[in-house]
A and B are shown apart, each in its own frame.
Chain A
Amino acid sequence: MSGPATTPPPSDRTGPDIELLDQVWGAKPGFVGWLGQCNHKAVGRRFIFTSFFFLMLGGLLAMLMRLQLIGPDNDIMGPDGFNQLFTMHGTIMMFLFVVPMLEGFTIYIAPLQLGSRDMPMPRLNAFGYWGFLLGGIFLLSSFVAGAVPDSGWFAYVPLTGPDFAPGANLDFWLLGVTMLEISGIAASIEVVVLVLRFRASGMSVGRIPIFVWSSLIVSVMILFAFPPLVAGTILLELDRKIGTVFYDATMGGDPLLWQHLFWWFGHPEVYIQLIPALGMAASIVTVAARRRMAGRTAVIASLVAIAILSFGLWVHHMYATGIPLLATSLFTAASFMIAIPTGVIIMSFIGTMWWGRIRWSSSMLYVAGFVFVFVAGGITGVMVAMVPFDWQAHDTYFVVAHFHYVLVGGSLLPILGALHHWMPKLTGRIMSEALGKVAFVLIFVGFNVAFMPQHWLGLFGMPRRIWTYEEGLGWDGLNLVSSLGSFVMGIGMLLFAINMIRANWPGGVTAPDDPWGGDTLEWATSSPAPNYNFVGTMQVASPEPLWDELSVLGRDHVSTSGRTRPDPPHETPDWQRRLDDPVDRLRETIATTGLDAEPDHIVTLPGHSLWPLWTAIFIAIGLVGVLVNSFALGFVGLGAIIAASATWLWPGVE
Chain B
Amino acid sequence: MTARHRRAAALTVPLLALTACGEQVRDSTTRGVTPQAEAIHGLFRFSVILGTIIWLTVLGLLAVPIWRSWRRRDDEHVVSSAPDPSRLEPPAAEADGALAVADPAHATEAEADHRVRTRLIWIGGIVLPSIVLLGLLTYSSVVGRAVAHVPEDGELVVDVVGHMFWWEVAYEDPDIVTANEIVVPVDTPVRFNLITDDVIHSFWIPRLHGKVDMIPGRTNTFTFTATETGDFRGNCAEFCGIAHAQMVAFVRVVEQDEFDAWVANQTEPAVTGTSTEGEQVFIEAGCAACHAVDGTDAVARVGPDLTHLASRETLAAGIVPNDREHLEQLIIDPQSVKPGIPMPAAQLSDAELDALLDHLEGLE
A interface residue numbers (CB < 8 A to B): 78-80, 83, 150-152, 156, 158-159, 164, 249-250, 254-256, 289-292, 294-295, 298, 320-322, 325, 328-329, 332-333, 336-337, 339-340, 343-348, 350-361, 368, 371-372, 375-376, 379-380, 382-383, 386-396, 430, 433, 453, 456, 459-470, 472-478, 481, 509, 512-517, 542, 544, 547-549, 561
Contacts and interface: CB of A to CB of B under 8 A. Distances in A.
Given A292-B92, A371-B58, A516-B79, A379 B66 contact: no
Contacts of B233: 461, 473
Given A289-B65, A294-B121, A320 B217 contact: no
Contacts of A321: 213, 215, 220
A477 B79 contact: no
Interface in B32-83: 37, 39-40, 43-44, 47-48, 51-52, 54-55, 58-59, 61-62, 64-66, 68-69, 72-74, 76-77, 79-83
A472 B321 CA distance: 14
B239 interface: yes
Given A391-B211, A433-B80, A291 B21 contact: no
Given A159-B200, A322-B218, A339 B61 contact: no
Given A152-B239, A368-B62, A292 B26 contact: no
A158 B216 contact: yes
A224 to B, nearest CB: 26
Q: Interface size bucket, B side?
A: 35 or more
9 contacts: A159-B241, A164-B241, A255-B217, A359-B76, A372-B59, A379-B55, A392-B211, A393-B29, A547-B90
A473 B25 contact: yes
Contact of B129 (A340, A358, A472): A340
A60 to B, nearest CB: 22
B120 A159 contact: no
Contacts of A151: 239, 241
A292 B94 contact: yes
Nearest to A379: B51
A83 B69 contact: no
Contacts of A474: 20, 23-26, 28
A79 B136 contact: no
B290 interface: no
Interface in B234-262: 234-246
- Name the 5 nearest CB pairs between A and B, nearest first: A391-B210, A249-B217, A474-B25, A466-B245, A344-B125
A470 B235 CA distance: 11
Interface stretch (B138-146, B178-186, B300-308): B138-146
B214 to A, nearest CB: 9
Nearest to A481: B19
Contact of A79 (B25, B44, B242): B242
B20 A456 contact: yes
B264 interface: no
B189 interface: no
A509 B80 contact: yes
B83 to A, nearest CB: 5
Given A453-B19, A456-B16, A456-B19, A383 B129 contact: no
A332 B137 contact: yes
A372 B144 contact: no
Which of B27, B48, B62, B91 counts the most A-chain CB atoms under 10 A from its CB?
B91
B102 interface: no
B107 interface: no
Given A158-B198, A354-B113, A469-B245, A344 B212 contact: no
Given A164-B241, A249-B218, A386-B136, 11 more contacts: A79-B244, A152-B239, A158-B200, A320-B202, A375-B58, A389-B47, A391-B212, A468-B246, A469-B245, A512-B81, A547-B88
Interface of B: 13, 15-16, 19-21, 23-30, 37, 39-40, 43-44, 47-48, 51-52, 54-55, 58-59, 61-62, 64-66, 68-69, 72-74, 76-77, 79-83, 85, 88-92, 94, 98-99, 109, 112-113, 116-118, 120-121, 124-126, 129-130, 133, 136-137, 140-141, 143-145, 147-148, 164, 198-200, 202, 204, 206, 209-213, 215-218, 220-221, 233-246, 319, 339-340
Contact of B117 (A348, A368, A544): A348
Contacts of B236: 463
Given A255-B215, A355-B116, A430-B80, A325 B202 contact: no
Contacts of A80: 242, 339-340
Given A151-B239, A388-B147, A433 B79 contact: yes
Contacts of B16: 453, 456, 460, 478
Contact of B144 (A156, A388, A433, A477): A388
Contacts of B216: 158, 249-250, 255
A379 B54 CA distance: 8
A158 B210 contact: no
A152 B242 CA distance: 11
A464 B121 contact: no
A472 B26 contact: yes
A78 to B, nearest CB: 5
B231 to A, nearest CB: 13
B242 A350 contact: no
A351 B117 contact: yes
B194 to A, nearest CB: 8
Contacts of B237: 320, 394-396, 463-464
A348 B211 contact: no
A322 B245 contact: no
Nearest to A83: B242
A80 B65 CA distance: 50
A294 B120 contact: yes
B55 A375 contact: yes
Given A290-B88, A355-B92, A516-B79, A463 B235 contact: yes
Contacts of B40: 388-389, 391-392
Nearest to B207: A461
Contacts of A382: 47, 51, 133, 136
Contacts of A390: 210
A322 B215 contact: yes
Contacts of B30: 459
Contacts of B112: 355
B215 A256 contact: yes
Nearest to A251: B217
A542 B98 contact: yes
Which of B27, B68, B69, B319 counts the most A-chain CB atoms under 10 A from its CB?
B69
B140 A389 contact: yes
A343 B210 contact: no
A339 B48 CA distance: 16
B202 A347 contact: no
B141 to A, nearest CB: 6
A350 B47 contact: no
Given A159-B241, A290-B89, A357-B89, A346 B125 contact: yes
Given A344-B125, A388-B143, A354 B47 contact: no
Contacts of B217: 249-250, 254-255
A380 B91 CA distance: 36
A88 to B, nearest CB: 14
A156 B19 contact: no
Nearest to A324: B148
A339 B127 CA distance: 12
Given A354-B65, A460-B27, A336 B44 contact: no
B133 A357 contact: no
Given A255-B216, A320-B212, A469-B245, A291 B89 contact: yes
B79 A459 contact: no
B25 A460 contact: yes
A127 B130 CA distance: 45
Given A322-B212, A465-B244, A350 B94 contact: no
A542 B92 CA distance: 13
B120 A350 contact: yes
A339 B133 contact: yes
Nearest to A468: B245
B61 A388 contact: no
B206 to A, nearest CB: 4
